[in-house]
Chain A
Amino acid sequence: MLELIDVVKEYPAPGAGDSLKVLKDISLTVEKGQSLAVVGPSGSGKSTLLNIIGGLDRPTSGKVIFDDCDLSTIGDGLLAVMRNLKIGFVFQLHHLLPQLTVLENVLIPTLAGKMKYSRKENAQRAESLLDRVGLADWMSHRPGELSGGQMQRVAVVRALINAPQLLLADEPTGSLDKAASENIADLLVELNESVGVTLIIVTHSMKLAERMSKVIEISDGRLV
């Protein structure tokens, strides 16, 4: 389902210095429905790898094959469609929009372009998903009225609204307390198992990583 072939990512250095190689020849295959944890020390290139997988960034060289499509070469428009319909993101910071209610925040990806479901179906799916994560009573509330854990659960639901094949989570529990972290971890694992969505999580938490079906470690831009 997802295959990375010799992915390299470099950033130009300030001045005339050598460029900074963040990812070095990463090759990786992830099967459909698999859950994968990416671990490693800070600055090792975990988030960069996740961004490249999710089409938020492009590799300097190498290929990212997702759903028979090379994300490193397709145009911005198609990439946006892929992100919208086939990939879901959960960030460390939830990035909920304060001006919208919980339900509306969840529905945001459905406004991006061609809708996968009808408007009515989207609303039903959003309500159902929110109910599933225990936020049925909070749908009309604003993010400001929610706890950190609740907000992150909304972010997870938002990532799932278009029923993506791949769910990417960048330190999803990084800013949460222990209880909330466990709650989110349970939710992600459960979704992976019940919905069959492929899950890739970048985390510092070995406890969370161990709950995934596969764990890879990156150090200094290389798979260890």
Chain B
Amino acid sequence: MNIFGFIVRSIVYYRRRNVGLFLTAVVSAAVLAGALLVGDSVRYSLARIVDLRLGATDVALVSQKRFFTVALADRISEKLDADVAPVMQLVGMVSNSDSTERLNQAQVLGVNGRFFDIGSAADPFAERKEGIVVNQQAAARLGVKAGDEILLRIGKPGQMSRDVGLVPDTDLTVVYRGQVIKVIDDEGFGRFSLRGDQVAPFNIFVPLNWLAKKIDKDGLCNTLLVAGKGLSTKKADAALTEVISLNDVGLETKAVAGSDEIHIKSRRVFIDEFLSEDLLGIKGAKGHLTYFVNEIRSGEKATPYSMVTATEMAGIAEDEIVINQWLAEDIAANVGDTVELAYYVMADMRKLIVHNSKFTVKGIVAVDRGFGERELMPDFPGLSDAENCRDWDPGMPVDLDKIRDKDEAYWDKYRGTPKAFITLAAGQKIWANRFGNLTGARYQGQPNLQRITEELTARIDPSKAGFAFIDVRQAGQKGVSQATDFGQLFMGLSMFLIAAAMILTSLVFGFSIDKRSAEIGMLKAVGFTAGTVRRMFLLEASGVAFTGCIFGAALGVLYTKAMILGLSTVWSGAVSATFVYFYGNFSTVCIGALCGFSVSMFSVWLSLRKHLRKEARELLNMGAEDISSLVKGGAGKSLWVSAAAFAGAAAIILRFSGSGGSGQAGAFFCAGALLLVAGISLVRLVLKGASVSRVGSLGTLAGFAWRNASRRSGRSLAVVSLIAAGSFLVVSIGVFRHDPLAHAAERDSGTGGFALFGQSSIPVVGDLNDLKGRKKIDLLDKKFDPVRIVQMRVRDGDDASCLNLNRAQTPQVIGVDPVKFQTRAAFGKVKMIKDPVAGDVWQLLEVDGAAGVVNAVADNATVIWALGKKLGDTIDFVDSKGHKFKIRIAGIMGNSILQGSLIISEKNFVTRFALEDGYRMFLVDTPPELSGEVSEKLAASLVDFGIDVSTTAGRLGRFSEVENTYLSIFQLLGGLSLILASVGLGMVVLVNVLDRRGELAMLRAVGFTRKTLTNAIFIEHFALMSLGLICGVGAAIIAVLPALTTPGRQLGFGILAIIIALLTVFGILFIWLSAFAALRGELIDALRKE
């Protein structure tokens, strides 16, 4: 025989006694392996979703507001030797044929076969070149199948921003009723999305060419998907710079008929500043800016609605003007006369302000001087394509009654030929805007067309147009790798279950060691060192624990499936209803088992350490009673610990009382935890005190029972601690539940005091609070006077809310007028960075940080959890002109309905994201009684904008649901732990009674009835359970005091009452069962054996 053989013999012989250790090892390993497997499964699911939504796409060029040619895809494909798919990505609204089901946030994708090649899927349009294909999510939402008709409303991109009051705010969508030819699933590339989140989009696929024609963008697209091995954005950007054409940045070249000039103009009316610089950089370039003026007046005479061109002219000062013959005659102006121009300049929300400028007539020229004057007018929407003046439909107010026959005649003959010319410098001063400072440029010498085109093309920096490839795959993978770690989360949520298993392991192994004290004593007596004995027992325990962990790991797989089932059903809020695939990684199972094994062995080691401290002679005599442990004390230490913990708790409570906020909640939680420690130490002190009592306290059955409780104070204290800590956690954590409805009307709540939240697919332009706006949304009735709408601009990005399980890389940005929040004191106190100027965070939004850093506010969940940032951190962005800039988190507010976005000032927004037009997010202030009616009116009047209106409380509730679900899981697992604790209590009863069978037999012999003994045992252990509950619940009540007085928080008394009642019932049940089991049979026999 060797030591190993000895250990094997011991394992086999004490197999029944080792069942406890085996079972607790099973629980530890199952819980740990389960938690890790849940983490793996969620991570695997997110990674799988990245593959499903991207197909083989590695990098992508996304430009929602600028359109480039489909041919660019071919050129890049050739250059990079990679698969490139041109795509048109637009937003849309879809409804089924009878409009009973509607989808407002659909992604309309114009695609061709190359798109499905990248998705490694069959092209559903291969046989039919028209029709609509929907993904399974959209089909399910709409309740449609192949063959059904649906109504598709597609957001039509404007020629230029609709924020410009010069263009019409009509013609926002195109409508198409078509047949669904196929429903495609995730494997069929139906889940395609470039957004870095796990939420399945509602995709509507149509042929690219068809869609481009439908929205007047024939031959254009706004997205390129590139799939190529080893492809980097740097390489792709370099290829783009090489192959980009003028047409791709919206420029068109044309030989001017009847002259030797080349004319360049933009599809977008105004030419961006960066392109202007390139255009004017060519030798001989002559830029011009043609503007629509309301009136040209000289004295009493005036000409309505004319084009005036600002261009480079020699010998003319900035305050001088050249007019054409027709105009000179119409207003009877001569050289030297003063001419006044009245024109609109653009203000916020499509507002137009009339400005006037005076010029002195420098000269009078012919209407048509043969250099293509007619071409100087850009393609103003609603004007340039009108056959006659009365058909004009520009965005600005035009009084058609002012148009005279002679004006009509001029239009018929000369169209938009400018009637006057000023210098370019003068024109740019009064008409340049954020969309550009030229409407065209001219070059001499038509034979040079190719050379000029090439020279210009070479000058174009695509990044300035915001054209830059994004490594969507890497971003997706990064988002997954930095995603919420559900493994750690579940590990944290299972923390108490694991702790309970540890304490139980320690207890059951302690029971076993107690029984084998004499064996340890004998081994030490015959020369085994404490280290050798420890190793032998550890090895023996490791054999049992290892076996338990193997079973536990296997059970962990089932536990994981149960958790995943929970996440798919009752806890779906925790994963935003994402389908979680089970992913059983063998190494994870092994790690879980190993962790469970370590936890068990640590508990065993703790238990052994205590026993091996005893001398051999003590151990050899332990069958009688470990009297030394009763008299050795430790009471003094308990007293100090208890006093210190009480003092600490009192200090915290005094310091933080009335301070409010989350700091107070945290402080009180700490105070509660300290009180828990104080309570448990006090119980230890009392148990020690009872154990050395010499007189009194034994006069009653209760006194006798209490004295018994103090005999094995370690066991008793373990039970008290287990129950106290469990009930503390379950009760105190419950208070962190949010009730969004409790405080929703307050301005300082997460709703900002707003009643309704709206989000549209198509941007709404103009002010909804002015007369025109109110008319638009049907709120003209006087009773709606108190209703106010705060409109916000949106720049799409990753959802940085808790609903996105991935780490958001480029979050959505909201632009708002900060005064709207400041005057309302909305969203309460906001933690902000120190600033010498700004008084509050809303002012801070208007202040630019150093080096053009833009200040932003976001809510706590967005910053901390979704972005993994802190106050003062910055996030990189690229503006619409291709400039990189940083958004700094200058303020963090409490969790709010604006979760998921960075909020910047509208001023900064329009500067940085000039191409994002209109407003897509709305907060509505309305009296509660009108809330329903206002909601209906908004939904009905803005139906074509695809608006979804919901209550702010409901929206906040959806965000709170995630956190509340975590708390539910924690409470459930905490409840399970408490049941485990009550099992532990039962085991303690059983072992205590079995240990004392001899003395109980003696008591029977001297006349105690079995009932009296059972009562004594019950009182002893019920007292321990009650002490645990009193310590735990008492400390928890202190911990949650501030929360109880905070609106929006609730204690969830119902759940807590159920948990405590269950624990009490289970506790009582296990005490009775154990006492009954231990006291059955003839106790007197035990006396005889003694």
B526 contacts the other chain (Cβ, under 8 Å)?
A: yes
Interface string of A49-85 (1 = CB under 8 A from B): 0010010110000000000000000001100111111
Structural contact, A99 and B13, CB atoms closer than 8 A: yes
Bound-complex Cα distance A97 to B540 (A): 15
Please indicate the chain B residues that have their CB under 8 angstroms from the CB of A83 in the complex. 525-527
Structural contact, A91 and B526, CB atoms closer than 8 A: no
Please indicate the chain A residues that have their CB under 8 angstroms from the CB of B522 in the complex. 91, 95, 97, 108
The minimal Cβ–Cβ distance linking B58 to chain A, given in whole angstroms, is 64
Chain B residue at minimum C-beta to C-beta distance from A84: B527
Structural contact, B616 and A56, CB atoms closer than 8 A: yes
Structural contact, B519 and A97, CB atoms closer than 8 A: yes
B532 contacts the other chain (Cβ, under 8 Å)?
A: yes
Please indicate the chain A residues that have their CB under 8 angstroms from the CB of B616 in the complex. 56
Instruction: Decide: A91 near B620, CB < 8 A? Known: A99-B10, A107-B1, A113-B532.
Output: yes
Please indicate the chain B residues that have their CB under 8 angstroms from the CB of A99 in the complex. 9-10, 12-14
The minimal Cβ–Cβ distance linking A220 to chain B, given in whole angstroms, is 21
B9 touches which of A91, A104, A109 (Cβ 8 Å): A104
Of residues 1 through 44 on chain A, the ones whose CB sits less than 8 Å from some CB of chain B are 14-15
Structural contact, B1 and A104, CB atoms closer than 8 A: yes
B695 contacts the other chain (Cβ, under 8 Å)?
A: no
Please indicate the chain B residues that have their CB under 8 angstroms from the CB of A158 in the complex. 526
Chain B residue at minimum C-beta to C-beta distance from A11: B628
Structural contact, B523 and A112, CB atoms closer than 8 A: yes
Bound-complex Cα distance A76 to B3 (A): 21
Bound-complex Cα distance A91 to B518 (A): 11
Interface size for B (C-beta < 8 A) is 29
Please indicate the chain B residues that have their CB under 8 angstroms from the CB of A134 in the complex. none
Chain A residue at minimum C-beta to C-beta distance from B8: A99
Please indicate the chain B residues that have their CB under 8 angstroms from the CB of A107 in the complex. 1
A95 touches which of B6, B12, B529, B620 (Cβ 8 Å): B620
Instruction: Decide: A108 near B615, CB < 8 A? Known: A14-B692, A91-B620, A95-B521.
Output: no
Chain B residue at minimum C-beta to C-beta distance from A107: B1
Interface string of A89-113 (1 = CB under 8 A from B): 1010101011110001001110111
Please indicate the chain A residues that have their CB under 8 angstroms from the CB of B523 in the complex. 108, 112
Structural contact, A80 and B6, CB atoms closer than 8 A: no
Instruction: Decide: A111 near B524, CB < 8 A? Known: A77-B529, A104-B1.
Output: no
Please indicate the chain B residues that have their CB under 8 angstroms from the CB of A100 in the complex. 1, 6, 9
Structural contact, A111 and B3, CB atoms closer than 8 A: yes
B617 touches which of A56, A97, A159, A162 (Cβ 8 Å): A56
Please indicate the chain B residues that have their CB under 8 angstroms from the CB of A56 in the complex. 524-525, 615-617
Structural contact, A76 and B529, CB atoms closer than 8 A: yes
Structural contact, A80 and B10, CB atoms closer than 8 A: no
Of residues 1 through 51 on chain B, the ones whose CB sits less than 8 Å from some CB of chain A are 1-3, 6, 9-10, 12-14
Please indicate the chain B residues that have their CB under 8 angstroms from the CB of A89 in the complex. 525-526
The minimal Cβ–Cβ distance linking A118 to chain B, given in whole angstroms, is 13
A111 touches which of B2, B12, B525 (Cβ 8 Å): B2
Structural contact, A108 and B526, CB atoms closer than 8 A: yes
B13 touches which of A51, A57, A85, A98 (Cβ 8 Å): A98
The minimal Cβ–Cβ distance linking B818 to chain A, given in whole angstroms, is 72
Please indicate the chain B residues that have their CB under 8 angstroms from the CB of A85 in the complex. 527
The minimal Cβ–Cβ distance linking A123 to chain B, given in whole angstroms, is 9
Bound-complex Cα distance A8 to B13 (A): 42
The minimal Cβ–Cβ distance linking B574 to chain A, given in whole angstroms, is 49
Structural contact, B617 and A84, CB atoms closer than 8 A: no
Chain B residue at minimum C-beta to C-beta distance from A85: B527
Chain B residue at minimum C-beta to C-beta distance from A82: B527
Interface string of B605-641 (1 = CB under 8 A from A): 0000000000111001001000000010000000000
Bound-complex Cα distance A80 to B529 (A): 6
Please indicate the chain A residues that have their CB under 8 angstroms from the CB of B524 in the complex. 56, 80
Bound-complex Cα distance A137 to B1018 (A): 50
Please indicate the chain B residues that have their CB under 8 angstroms from the CB of A51 in the complex. 617
Bound-complex Cα distance A56 to B526 (A): 10
Instruction: Decide: A112 near B518, CB < 8 A? Known: A91-B620, A99-B10.
Output: no
Bound-complex Cα distance A57 to B10 (A): 28
Bound-complex Cα distance A85 to B527 (A): 8
Bound-complex Cα distance A15 to B615 (A): 22
Instruction: Decide: A104 near B6, CB < 8 A? Known: A56-B616, A91-B620.
Output: yes
Please indicate the chain A residues that have their CB under 8 angstroms from the CB of B3 in the complex. 111
The minimal Cβ–Cβ distance linking A18 to chain B, given in whole angstroms, is 14
Please indicate the chain A residues that have their CB under 8 angstroms from the CB of B10 in the complex. 97, 99
B567 contacts the other chain (Cβ, under 8 Å)?
A: no
Bound-complex Cα distance A1 to B194 (A): 90
Instruction: Decide: A76 near B615, CB < 8 A? Known: A93-B518, A99-B13.
Output: no
Interface centre among A104, A111, A112 (most CB of B within 10 A): A111
The minimal Cβ–Cβ distance linking B656 to chain A, given in whole angstroms, is 41
B575 contacts the other chain (Cβ, under 8 Å)?
A: no
Structural contact, A57 and B615, CB atoms closer than 8 A: yes
Bound-complex Cα distance A82 to B527 (A): 7
Bound-complex Cα distance A81 to B532 (A): 12
The minimal Cβ–Cβ distance linking B258 to chain A, given in whole angstroms, is 112
Bound-complex Cα distance A89 to B522 (A): 9
Please indicate the chain A residues that have their CB under 8 angstroms from the CB of B529 in the complex. 76-77, 80, 112-113
Bound-complex Cα distance A108 to B2 (A): 9
Structural contact, A84 and B692, CB atoms closer than 8 A: no
Please indicate the chain B residues that have their CB under 8 angstroms from the CB of A111 in the complex. 1-3, 6, 528
Structural contact, A112 and B532, CB atoms closer than 8 A: yes
Bound-complex Cα distance A5 to B631 (A): 30
Please indicate the chain B residues that have their CB under 8 angstroms from the CB of A159 in the complex. 526
B530 contacts the other chain (Cβ, under 8 Å)?
A: yes
Structural contact, A84 and B620, CB atoms closer than 8 A: no
Chain A residue at minimum C-beta to C-beta distance from B533: A112
The minimal Cβ–Cβ distance linking A217 to chain B, given in whole angstroms, is 22
Please indicate the chain A residues that have their CB under 8 angstroms from the CB of B631 in the complex. 14
Structural contact, A109 and B527, CB atoms closer than 8 A: yes
Bound-complex Cα distance A76 to B534 (A): 15
Please indicate the chain B residues that have their CB under 8 angstroms from the CB of A84 in the complex. 526-528
Please indicate the chain B residues that have their CB under 8 angstroms from the CB of A14 in the complex. 631, 692
Interface string of B398-414 (1 = CB under 8 A from A): 00000000000000000
Of residues 681 through 714 on chain B, the ones whose CB sits less than 8 Å from some CB of chain A are 692
Interface centre among A85, A104, A112, A162 (most CB of B within 10 A): A112
The minimal Cβ–Cβ distance linking A13 to chain B, given in whole angstroms, is 8
Chain A residue at minimum C-beta to C-beta distance from B536: A111
Chain A residue at minimum C-beta to C-beta distance from B3: A111
Bound-complex Cα distance A15 to B2 (A): 46
Of residues 257 through 302 on chain B, the ones whose CB sits less than 8 Å from some CB of chain A are none
Bound-complex Cα distance A54 to B525 (A): 8
Structural contact, A109 and B617, CB atoms closer than 8 A: no
A109 touches which of B12, B519, B526, B620 (Cβ 8 Å): B526
Interface centre among A93, A98, A99, A104 (most CB of B within 10 A): A99
Bound-complex Cα distance A83 to B1 (A): 21
Chain A residue at minimum C-beta to C-beta distance from B12: A99
Bound-complex Cα distance A89 to B526 (A): 7
Please indicate the chain A residues that have their CB under 8 angstroms from the CB of B692 in the complex. 14-15
Interface string of B522-553 (1 = CB under 8 A from A): 11111111101000000000000000000000
Chain A residue at minimum C-beta to C-beta distance from B530: A76
The contact sample of 25 A-B pairs, CB cut-off 8 A, is A14-B692, A54-B525, A56-B615, A56-B617, A57-B615, A76-B530, A77-B529, A80-B527, A81-B527, A82-B527, A84-B526, A84-B528, A89-B525, A95-B518, A95-B620, A97-B519, A99-B9, A99-B13, A104-B6, A108-B6, A109-B526, A111-B3, A111-B528, A112-B529, A113-B528
Instruction: Give the B-binding residues of A (Cβ under 8 A).
Output: 14-15, 51, 54, 56-57, 76-77, 80-85, 89, 91, 93, 95, 97-100, 104, 107-109, 111-113, 158-159, 162
The 6 closest A-B pairs by CB, nearest first: A84-B527, A99-B13, A95-B522, A109-B526, A112-B527, A14-B631
12 further interface pairs, Cβ-Cβ under 8 Å (given A80-B527, A100-B6, A111-B1): A57-B617, A84-B526, A91-B525, A91-B620, A93-B620, A95-B522, A97-B522, A98-B13, A99-B13, A112-B529, A113-B529, A162-B527
